[in-house]
Amino acid sequence: MRITHIDLYRYDIPLKAPITISLGTIEHARNLLIQVHTDQGLVGWGEGSPFWMIVGETQASGLAAAQDMARLLLGRNPLDIEGGLEALIRYLPGHPTTRSAFDMALYDLAAKAANMPLYHYLGGAKRTLVTDETIYINPVERMVEDALRIKEKGGEAVKVKLGTNRRDDIRRVEAIRQAIGDEIPIRTDANQGWDTVTATAVLQAIGSLNVEYCEQPIKHWDITGLKRVRQHSPVPLMADESLFDSRDAIRLVREEAVDYFNIKLAKSGGIYEALKINAIAEAAGMACMIGCMSESRLAITANAHVASARTNISFFDLDAPFEHAEDPVTGGARYNGYHVELPDSPGIGAEADPAFLQKLEKITIR
């Protein structure tokens, strides 16, 4: 089997409302969508969601890089996933989100060629995945309203974005806990918004409020500071922006800087590297979470396949489509409340809606 041509799309998905975290605000999901075509008629689908404030990529830079990446893959056997990805890394070591879209499409093709759903191709089984739902930064009253809405819908965990200032962040968690009661865990994410002193103070203040963990409390590069916060925090810490690839994972384990890893395909470069990260965490006795940027259900389904295939992935943050004003995907994972239900069709089992595709800018590389 050989790759004959690749279609690239400017995959814009409108949001219901702007999304604000400590790093900034986005108003649209400006993603990348690719189709890898083969001489045997199989087509692989991949999606990347370049969250510029985290990965340093934009849709425009990703599309530019994707054209060169596509040319490198033309004529190759798509089943040689490692060889194809190594060629992309040698040419352009950065752009993990763009590379993740190609990685996803290659795994989709490989599982289709094997006539297996992706979770089975990866050596796993279908299991229960329950996602949390994120509460973005807003006035306290609005965040409390969002928490109550999630509870009323049957949410089993809420994820609260923090990282502004000590007083307001403590008030946010206290008010949400008072409103929703004690049973539902609160997961927090500061997106690098604090320094070590503030992080320690906030986490000590909210440590008795059934806070399951805090993601990335301080700057991604400050591993020494992250370790210091962990030593004084009653709340477990999870690496997000500090963790891009397996080399980061080894360093974080060696430094004993965090309790958990947040794996995102768009951040790690795709499934191939995500599996390495999880293996390192598993060997170190650390659980992982599968997370997301602002992907459609296509990439969310791929993330869910990976999570289902690896039991060491214990937390699930797969709520990005909740914020989308349109669902441009056919097939794929379905939400039964907060339960993510995977398809059994070969490959990822999700494709872009042809009607939605017709509205998108397309570039074909032959």
Active-site residue set: 161, 189, 215, 240, 264
Give me the sign of the Cα torsion angle 54, 104, 280, 207: positive
Q: In Å, how far from its chain's centre is CA 209?
A: 26
CA distance 270 to 250: 18
165, two tokens: 């200032």
- For 247, residues 6+ apart whose C-beta sits below 8 A from its C-beta are none
Using alpha carbons only, what angle is made at residue 362 by residues 359 and 366, rounded to the nearest 5 degrees?
A: 150
Helix (H) or strand (E) holding 37: strand 24-38
% helix, strand, coil for the chain, step of 5:
40, 25, 35
Tokens 């690839």 belong to which residue? 245
